Chain A
Amino acid sequence: MKTIESGSGIATPDTFPPPSTAVWQHSHILDLDDFTREEIELVLETADAMTEVLTREVKKVPTLRGKTVVTLFYEASTRTRASFELAAKNLSADTVSLDASKSSVTKGESLIDSLRTIQALGADIIVMRHPQSGAPYTAVQHVNCSIINAGDGWHAHPSQALLDIYTIRRHLGKLDNLKVAIVGDIMHSRVARSNIWGMTTMGARIILCAPRTLLPRGLESFLAKCQLSNVSIETDIEPALKNADVVMLLRLQMERQQSGLLPSLREYIQLYQLTTERLSLAKRNVLVMHPGPINEGIEISPEVAHGTQSVIEEQVANGVAIRMALLYLIAGGKNK
């Protein structure tokens, strides 16, 4: 069991001290582009302690008792939402779940007004998902409570990237110099964008692999401008998989084909599906990951999705620990 060290002696998860403010500077979690390696490591270490809590008979600690966590989702979600809500409940926070499609939003209330209302109701932390890239950046300008971005448009999904990093680290020890292939719809993927920041900060090399129509046109200049020299682009899957330590597939939404970005699903499957044969190009102990939900038989074959190298279900389990860690760090950060 890992614990967090604080000043004198060892703390147990039941009596977490406030996080070290020397390392932790965030009152919101919007993306990983402003996270240092030390901050990511603090999240991972905190998640280790949370993982221990999750193995207990009673998976509950009083850490966030009296805090209110509101999940505000403007987009359908199963796992992310459930994961955040379970995380908050495990920490004894009060949770309110707002489905924006059923709330006053349908009466024309703006995002900012909704957020202000939720703040006035006493929320300490708002976990929000929104179809528009950048919506959480709008949010933080208008409320004082903490905002955790649970996915904004094509832009960012920091908690997903952190749980991906956590999962890799638990299996392979560290990310330094690992080759991570991210294969699929890079253009529309907030998971890919957040992992670009998070994984390179942790020392990994990333290969982004997709047909040209699913790569944003400015991608090369983005990588160059932001000095992300550890990220490269590949339109063929075979070189992307060669000697990879991790292969992460992205969900291919069916409407991409309908809007003309792909000639056919058949061709996509032929060129990009992760099959057992293709996976043999990667390292023997390769990890197969997917942020879900999976389109079995499209981006990944069922044999690989459920095969020995797949850690897809573990990602989901680790998501709860990571989100407990984020809620704890954010709430603690506010206490100081």
Chain B
Amino acid sequence: MPTNLLINGGHIIDSSQGIDKVADLLITKGKIAWTGDKGKAPSQPDLTTIDATGLIVCPGFIDLHCHLREPGFEDKETIATGTKAAARGGFTTVCCMPNTNPPLDTQTSIDYVKKMAEAEGMVQVLPIGCITKGRQGKELTEMSELAKVGVIGFSDDGEPVASSRIMSLAMDYSQALGLPIIDHCEDKELSNGGFMNDGWVSARLGLKGIPKAAEEIIVARDLALAQLTGAKLHIAHVSTEGSVELIRRAKEKGISVTAEVTPHHLTLTEEHVMGSQLPYYTNAKVNPPLRTKEDITALIKGLKDGTIDAIATDHAPHTLVDKMCEFGLAAFGISGLETALACLINLMHDHQLDMKTLISKLTFEPARIIGTKYGELGTLKPGCRADVVLFNPNKEWTVDNRDFASKGKNTPFDSCHFKGRIIMTIVAGKVVYRDNSV
């Protein structure tokens, strides 16, 4: 039973209402009841007061892109552990990708995820359905039925639809449903089994490279198809300067496209594969691969000017065995939920991104992409579900992956010293995570 909470004296930032000031926030019956000047909150019975002095108080973060691995890969992650990791990272809503086993391509599998999330999830889980049956790129799923059972979009993440014709049909179909097609943009024929960015590090280490063009070709194709069909298109994990330019031009032309970028693509480069001690650092193996400084600059610029709408983690947990092997055989992916805020705040401390933009990209903007199917998200408006996060942007800590709630300890940020830490995560008025060190 959620109690009534009064969060006192925090710096409230809510992009949906343009709030950016020190104020109090009252939560009753799991909903936002009131925000206003310090000490002015209407009196409530059974009130628990939380002192948020020096903390940022904002809507809970929304992750448009994560992998909870259940059903099928419970050794990597479960809905229970993945949502616990989300809570620790300040996320109150996560959208889970359908590359499970079986994939989320039927009503049954989506119902399963929803039921597990209801029973064991610590935060809200919104499923993404497959575009094609079995993620084979051949036949569309029963998209209308999947929409009815609650998917927030469609994606064959990791196995992008290669056929332009099938993709155009998927967009036609989803256009009528009003849901976005979310694409992992990769021309697999061009990336051809590559392991990392095609650049100086791949040449030096003798690793097969994935050219930036492999992403940009499919971004360009998808934008053309979105223009053709009028469908909503969401580009997942943009990683190159060229993709940012393509999306920027498409937005100028009025094409209905949104885009996300991950914390790791905003902060790490291909050179991280060289490792701090030994090269072939498998925790830096991720798809799309870590790129270059120039790409990071373009991605940050894209975030600032609105070309890139949201920040999403692409949380991809793997077992130790999946990563503790030869670089070429190691799984792609970074366990990202629990370090997302810290590496993003680092960009703020480096004066590359301001706090309001950062919070907007984690709350208001992803909520806009999801729509109101699950109520109004990413806001502190009275009457809305009380999904709130409190964080201290200046608190210093060192990442220790053994502390992760996620089963995936695969992080290139292990041992990194960061400034910026989640203090409390509240879902529907209930405290689901509290930093023990406070």
Q: Which residues of A contact B (CB under 8 A)?
A: 110-112, 130, 132-135, 137-138, 140-141, 152-156, 190, 193, 216-219, 221-222, 224-226
Question: Are B326 and A135 in contact (CB-based, < 8 A)?
Answer: yes
Are A222 and B204 touching (Cβ within 8 A)?
yes
Complexed CA–CA distance, A153 and B202 (Å): 12
Query: For A140, what are the chain B residues with a Cβ–Cβ distance below 8 Å?
Result: 278
Docked CA distance A217–B203 (Å):
7
> B200 to chain A: which residues have CB within 8 Å?
218, 221-222, 224-225
CA of A217 to CA of B209, assembled, Å: 9
Chain B residues lying within 8 Å of A216, measured Cβ to Cβ, are 202-203, 209
Q: Would you give the shortest CB distance from B131 to chain A, in whole angstroms?
A: 29
Which B residues are in CB contact (< 8 Å) with A222? 200-201, 203-204
A43 to B103, CA, bound (A): 56
Task: Encode B201-220 as 1/0 by CB contact (under 8 A) with A.
Answer: 11111110101000000000
The 10 closest A-B pairs by CB, nearest first: A134-B280, A154-B206, A155-B206, A218-B203, A221-B200, A132-B326, A216-B203, A222-B203, A133-B206, A222-B200
Q: Which residues of A contact B202 (CB under 8 A)?
A: 216, 218
Q: Contacts A153-B328, A218-B199, A222-B203 known; A110 to B278 CB distance under 8 Å?
A: no
Is the beta-carbon distance between A132 and B327 smaller than 8 angstroms?
yes
Residues from chain B with a CB closer than 8 A to the CB of A134 are 205-207, 279-280, 326-328
Q: Does B47 contact A (CB under 8 A)?
A: no
Count of chain B residues with Cβ under 8 Å from any Cβ of A? 22
Chain A residues lying within 8 Å of B201, measured Cβ to Cβ, are 218, 222
Residues in B with CB closer than 8 Å to A153 are: 206-207, 328
Between A and B, how many residue pairs show CB distances below 8 Å? 77
Q: Which residue of chain B lies nearest to A228 when distances are taken between CB atoms in the complex?
A: B204
- Specify which chain A residues have a CB less than 8 angstroms from the CB of B280 in the assembled complex: 133-134, 137-138
Report Cα–Cα, A226/B201, bound state, in Å: 10
B176 in the interface, Cβ–Cβ < 8 Å? no
> 13 new A-B pairs (CB below 8 Å) besides A111-B326, A225-B204?
A112-B324, A112-B325, A133-B327, A134-B207, A135-B326, A137-B278, A137-B280, A138-B326, A153-B206, A155-B207, A190-B206, A218-B200, A221-B200
A-B contact pairs, 10 of them (CB 8 A): A110-B325, A111-B325, A132-B326, A132-B327, A134-B326, A216-B202, A216-B209, A217-B199, A222-B203, A224-B200
**How many angstroms from the CA of A132 to the CA of B330 in the assembled complex?**
11
Q: Which residue of B lies closest to A139 (CB)?
A: B326
Q: When the two chains form their complex, are residues A133 and B203 in contact, meaning their CB atoms are under 8 A apart?
A: no
Q: How far is the CA of A246 from the CA of B14 in the complex (A)?
A: 69
Indicate if the CB atoms of B328 and A138 lie closer than 8 Å.
Answer: no
Chain A nearest CB from B73 CB (Å) reads: 18
How many angstroms between the C-alpha atoms of A218 and B329 in the bound complex?
22
CA gap between A190 and B204 in the complex, in Å: 10
In the bound assembly, the distance between CA atoms of A95 and B326 in angstroms comes to 25
- Residues of B within 8 Å of A112, CB to CB, are 324-325
Least CB separation from B208: chain A residue: A154
Min CB distance B35 to A, Å, is: 52
Please judge, given known A-B contacts A140-B278, A217-B211, whether A133 and B199 are in contact too, CB under 8 Å.
no
In Å, the complex CA distance between A216 and B208 comes to 9
0 or 1 for each of B309-334: is its CB under 8 Å from A? (1 = yes): 00000000000010011111100000
Establish whether residues B321 and A218, one from each chain, have CB atoms under 8 Å apart when the complex forms: no
Is B63 in contact with chain A by the CB < 8 A criterion? no
Contact B205 A218 (CB under 8 A): no
Give the contacting residue for B328; candidates A110, A132, A193; CB below 8 A: A132
In angstroms, how far is the closest chain B Cβ from the Cβ of A125?
A: 19
Specify which chain A residues have a CB less than 8 angstroms from the CB of B338 in the assembled complex: none
Closest chain B residue to A110, Cβ basis: B325
Q: Which residue of A lies closest to B328 (CB)?
A: A132
B198 at the interface (CB under 8 A from A): yes
Q: Which residues of A contact B328 (CB under 8 A)?
A: 132-134, 153
Q: How far is the CA of A136 from the CA of B202 in the complex (A)?
A: 17
Contacts of A137 in B (CB 8 A): 278-280
A154 to B194 alpha-carbon distance, docked (Å): 13
B-chain residues with CB within 8 Å of residue A135 when the two chains form the complex: 326
Inter-chain CA distance A154–B321, complex, in Å, is: 24
Smallest CB–CB gap between A200 and chain B, Å? 14
Report Cα–Cα, A130/B280, bound state, in Å.
14
- What distance in Å separates the Cβ of B204 from its nearest Cβ neighbour in chain A? 5
**Cross-interface CB contact of B204 among A110, A217, A226, cutoff 8 Å:** A226
Count chain B CB atoms within 10 A of each CB in A111, A138, A224 and give the residue with the most. A138
Q: How far is the CA of A141 from the CA of B199 in the complex (A)?
A: 26
- With both beta carbons as reference points, the residue of chain B lying nearest to A138 in the complex is identified as B326
Tell me how far the C-beta of A218 lies from the nearest C-beta in chain B, rounded to whole angstroms.
Answer: 4
Given A217-B198, A218-B203, A226-B204, answer yes or no on A138-B209 (Cβ-Cβ < 8 Å): no
